[in-house]
Structure 1
Amino acid sequence: MSEANNNVSAPAKKKVYWVPLESSPDAMNKVIYSMGVGSSVGFSDVWGLDEELLSMIPQPVHALVFLFPPSDKLEEEKKKIAASSDNKVSPNVWFMRQTIGNACGTMAIFHALGNNQETLPISGDIARFFAKVNALSPGDKAAELEKDSAMAASHKVGAAEGQTTAPSADAKVKHHYSAFAIVDGDLYELDGGMPGPINLGPATDVLKAGARAIKSRISHFNDTSVEFSVIALGPSQSD
């Protein structure tokens, strides 16, 4: 019998893409409510990072979501920090790698929710997903997300909510998302494109500490025309 077929390679796995999520509290709230998060919490815009404007945000804030343009310099710096032995990460940090194309917005939502599971009204599909993946590695969490039709459907609900026409799923997007949350007394930046979470040091107030960290991130950009946005997860504004 010929052994020629023994050298045939398995077909390459096709990359999964989702339609990019608009940086909009309405879109993000559509996602989390579809997942099963209770309506007593929700996302709201952060209009500025100065103390006076931060005081207008519904509190307590559980996490921040930051939208920013790609920067090779910033990305390399973050990768170096994330991989450093000096970057001490609590085992209680919930982190998932991003393997789905254009899903960074919903990835930031997962990081915001995943690191606040004990304090948020979580049930339904998102509670089921967390129960399934909480003990898995960041890569295995991502693999489970790729197979989860309910999570994909919740993302799709939010992606259809944007005020602008949604691009195709495999379109090249111009911005990226990360999330900020406090775990075991330290502030973390959670970016699924990084090797792991980035410990930004001790903190007690995610809104104030996250705002300082985001200001530091923004300082990497010299172009004043560059657009950023910050969205906070806290009490629902409808309550």
Structure 2
Amino acid sequence: MAQDLHMEDIRDDQRTTSEEETRRSSRNRTVSSTPSEPTGKNIPQKRAASSPQSTRTLRPQRDDRQNGSGADPVAEAMKPLTDEERRNWKGWVELESDPALFNFILRENGVEDARVHEVLTLDTEMLAGLPQPIYGFIFLFRYRDEDDEIEVEDPPKCPRHVWFANQTTSNACATVALLNIVMNVSEINLGEALVSFKQTTQGLKPAYRGQRLSQNDSIRCIHNSFARRMDMLNADLGLQNDFEKWEHLKKNPKRKKVTNNNRKKKKDEEESGFHFIAYVPINGSVWRLDGLQRHPVNLGQSGDDWIAVALAHIKERLHQNDQDDIQFSLLSLCKSPLQSIRQQVAQNMNLIMSIEESLNNMTPDWKVFTAGHEVPKSSELREFLGLSQEFIDKANPSASALERLQLASMEPSSLIKLHEELLRDQTALRGKYMVEEVSIGQENEQAAKRKQDHSPRIHSSMKALAEAGVMKEIVQDIRENKDTK
């Protein structure tokens, strides 16, 4: 299988020149949308495709009601979207920069030991308060035409130890950025599906990894979990417009000379879209993984603080924006607190078991002198935290904890006191674990609500008001109230 993939790369090298021209021209296909908040919430992603595609399977038929035939396109667009239609649709919808949404995508793809958090400021104190370690950043910014010029003429090719996929289809940059991080972090348990996908794409070039990603039904369906029919129709319309522009440029390659004034006017009229990219430390270097660039960019040695290297580049990118355009979003991919807490509970139990063994040898009736705190049973730990006895036995306590145990081992009273302290720590850790599980449950609840499409109900209500003849009065009242303010 790997040999076939390498042969495919060799054959594809023969088409590098023409594909490069298509790839570069495709980057300019953007979404003209404005984020609703300066912090980056609800910001649509940059849309780009490597080649024109047609996914307009959900487009309603043209209305021909003048002749008494044909369906109402608005009514067709308002129909609830079925799961089967979502699975059969081959396109990708825009995603918001929302941690809850990214965490849902991670869990659905089988990644359980990593979690996305929003970075509200670029201060070191804020970053220090996030769960550690931080595996990578997902940066959302306004993509400009000038960004195409950042890539050098002959960039270094993607090294074998970096898993990097190009974005080869519209609207997929959120999932591409997310996978470009998790595939490069050895500490993350990817789950069976992503492990298999990584293995089958390891020998491919970035463009063909991206192509396999865009064609993966499971990854695409998870990405589109929150898609509504209107989202899909808008994506189809965007692809149609991209295809028409591509055909026009193909037939009319010569362009008129554009003056600076015309260029500025065009820039004002057509607002640039937004785009997700990733920053991640790999083998001692910090990498910028931008799916729209042919190869990943090595930003330099990570040293003792890879975050400082990444933030310096992010701040530089923000300074390049206009003074009145500071809209961006930064998400961090961190180790899941659940996994950290589970590890701490296991280490805590390991110490408690060691103390009890020592006390049993020194003072068999030592439990008479305790405060009556009960040690969690193995079945309880296994049921609520998924901790097996083997996992607890292999959990190595920290050096400081072992030092405390060593100092207390001189006399039974010190061991009993330490035993009680560890039991209190155990209770606190289990409380934190429950809080995290509640948080995940709330995210899942929020995800279930966001999957509900209220567009048909809103449309039917508006239609009923219009048919009742009161819509005109409502619109007039709104206008009058607006004018009086």
Scaled by the length of structure 2, the TM-score of the pair is: 0.42
Flag structure 2 segments of 5+ consecutive residues without an equivalent. Answer: 1-50, 55-89, 239-271, 338-435, 438-485
* 1:87-138 superposed Cα distances (whole Å, 9 cap, x missing partner): 575431111111110111111011111111x210211322221121112111
State how 1:100-115 maps to structure 2 within 5 Å: 100-115=169-184
- The question of 1:210 aligning with 2:305 is answered no
Alignment of 1:86-235 (within 5 A): 87=156, 90-116=159-185, 118-157=186-225, 159-160=226-227, 168-170=234-236, 174-204=273-303, 205-235=305-335
Contact 2:158 2:206 in 1 (8 A): no
Answer 1 or 2: higher relative contact order, Cα 8 Å, separation at least 6: 1
Question: d(CA) in 2 for partners of 1:96 and 1:50?
Answer: 30
Identity, % of aligned positions: 28
Give SS of 2:95's match: coil
Which secondary structure does the structure 1 equivalent of 2:138 belong to?
A: strand
Query: SS of the residue aligned with 2:218?
Result: helix
Displacement of 1:171 in angstroms is: 6.2
CA RMSD of aligned residues (A): 2.4
**Partner in structure 2 of residue 64 of structure 1:** 137
Which runs of 5 or more structure 1 residues have no equivalent in the other structure? 1-11
* Secondary structure of 1:132 counterpart: helix
TM-score by length of 1: 0.82
Output the CA distance in 1 between the equivalents of 2:237 and 2:284: 38
The letter of the residue matching 1:125 is A
> How many angstroms apart in 2 are the aligned matches of 1:186 and 1:61?
15
Q: 1:126 to 1:193 in 2, by over 3 A?
A: same
Give 1:20's aligned residue.
94
Q: 1:170 to 1:56 in 2, by over 3 A?
A: farther
The answer as to 2:116 corresponding to 1:43 is yes
**SS of the counterpart of 1:62?**
strand
**Larger helix fraction of residues:** 2
In 2, Cα distance between equivalents of 1:139 and 1:214: 25
CA–CA distance in structure 1, aligned partners of residues 109 and 205 of structure 2:
22
In 1, Cα distance between the equivalents of 2:154 and 2:130? 34
2:206–2:294 contact (8 Å) kept in structure 1: no
Q: What secondary structure does 1:63 align onto?
A: strand
Conserved? CA contact 1:34–1:154, under 8 Å: yes
The amino acid that maps onto 2:97 is S
SS at match of 2:210: helix
2:187 aligns to what SS in structure 1? coil
* AA matched with 1:34: E
In the alignment, residue 114 of structure 2 is paired with which amino acid? Answer: V
In structure 2, how many angstroms separate the alpha carbons of the residues matched to 1:96 and 1:89?
Answer: 10
Q: Which SS does the other structure have where 1:195 is aligned?
A: coil
Please tell me the residue identity of whatever aligns with 2:292.
G
SS at 2:134 equivalent: coil
Structure 2 vs 1, CA of residues 88 and 99 (structure 1 numbering), >3 Å: closer, same or farther? closer
Deviation, structure 1 residue 201: 0.5
* Structure (1 or 2) with the greater strand fraction: 1
Residue pair 2:163, 2:183 contacting (<8 A) in 1 also = yes
Cα distance in 2 between the residues matched to 1:160 and 1:144: 21
Instruction: Name the CA shift for 1:29/1:148 in 2 (closer, same or farther; >3 Å).
Output: same
Amino acid at match of 1:94: W
- Distance apart, 1:33 and its partner CA: 0.8
Aligned residues: 218
C-alpha displacement of 1:166: 5.1
Q: Which amino acid aligns with 1:29?
A: N
Given residue 152 of structure 1, which amino acid in structure 2 is its aligned partner?
R
Q: Work out the CA distance in 2 between the residues paired with 1:94 and 1:134.
A: 7
Instruction: Give the match for residue 68 of structure 2.
Output: none
Question: Match for 1:17: what amino acid?
Answer: G
Amino acid at match of 1:14: Q
**Partners of 1:66 and 1:230 within 8 A in 2:** yes
Q: How far, CA to CA, are the matches of 1:111 and 1:160 in structure 2?
A: 23
Change (3 A) 1:176 1:135: same
Q: Aligned pair in 2 of structure 1 residues 122, 192: CA closer, same or farther (>3 Å)?
A: same
